[in-house]
Structure 1
Amino acid sequence: MSVTGFIGRALLASIFIKNGLDHLQNPDPIVRAAKGAEIPAPELAVKVNSGVMVGAGSLLALGIAPGLASTALAVSLIPTTVIGHPFWDRQGKERQHQQTHFMKNLALFGALLAVGSRKG
């Protein structure tokens, strides 16, 4: 692995590790959003998703099973994006804010797909 590949992978993983730890330490806002989206067992869902972010993010950062780690993160990013950033039902600045985060998550999803599809 090149130095730039290592740095890029670590930087990509860092947002998942940080957010996963944040959500484990302060799950209430995320649990409320999951309840509002009628996710079954929202407390458990938030813990599992947060654990995936920390665990798979750490594996990705260390270069251990990067294909599997990036796939797990990409899968976890789908409900996070749809539930967490519903710009389509917001107005004004809140709509712009949520749309920006939605698009950021799409970019992260694309980066995870690229990292996961790399050979070697």
Structure 2
Amino acid sequence: MLKVLARPMLSAVFMTSAWETLKDPAPLAKHAEPMIERYRKVLPEWVPTDAMTLVRVDACLKLGAGLLLAAGRMPKVAAFVLAADLVPTTLVGHRVWESGDPEERAHFLKNVAVLGGLLASI
């Protein structure tokens, strides 16, 4: 019974942020562009290298996996996909070792906690 309640709660953060990103991807694409530029040469050829496309693809991935997790359909696969996506998102988006910003640190730690919840549900 707890898993039935916990899955939608855990996936809500992914689905809401993905939906907001799909509505307006420009701010996140602007934030991601420097990191994409840094790693553009090592990305496989099949990976799009423009920030807007990558941000949209990432949002679709999070929305789809979040919906699957919330519905209890392939929950272990969905949790794994979300966990695998959360690691680079956190490392790129919340670089606490560079900023020292307490708010950034809180977001980083929140992502680590969510990652723990996803790993526990696999």
Do these two structures clear the TM 0.5 threshold for a shared fold by scoring above it? yes
Q: How many angstroms does 1:17 deviate by? A: 0.3
- 1:104 lines up with 2:113 in the alignment: no
- 1:24 lines up with 2:33 in the alignment: no
Of residues 3, 6, 14, the one that matches 1:8 is 6
Counterpart CA distance in 1 for 2:120 and 2:60 is: 23
Matched residue, 1:61: 70
Counterpart CA distance in 2 for 1:86 and 1:23 is: 20
Secondary structure, aligned partner of 2:121: helix
Q: Which amino acid aligns with 1:20?
A: A
Q: Which amino acid aligns with 1:36?
A: P
Number of residue pairs aligned between Structure 1 and Structure 2: 111
Q: How many angstroms does 1:8 deviate by? A: 0.7
Matched residue, 1:80: 89
Matched residue, 2:43: none
Q: How many angstroms does 1:67 deviate by? A: 0.8
Of residues 26, 46, 67, the one that matches 2:55 is 46
Report the identity percentage.
Answer: 33
Q: Is the 8 A contact 1:24 1:50 kept in 2?
A: yes
Q: How many angstroms does 1:88 deviate by? A: 1.6
Q: How many angstroms does 1:48 deviate by? A: 1.0
Post-superposition, which runs of at least 4 consecutive aligned residues in structure 1 deviate over 4 A? none
Q: Which amino acid aligns with 1:64?
A: R
Q: Which amino acid aligns with 1:100?
A: A
TM-score by length of 2: 0.86
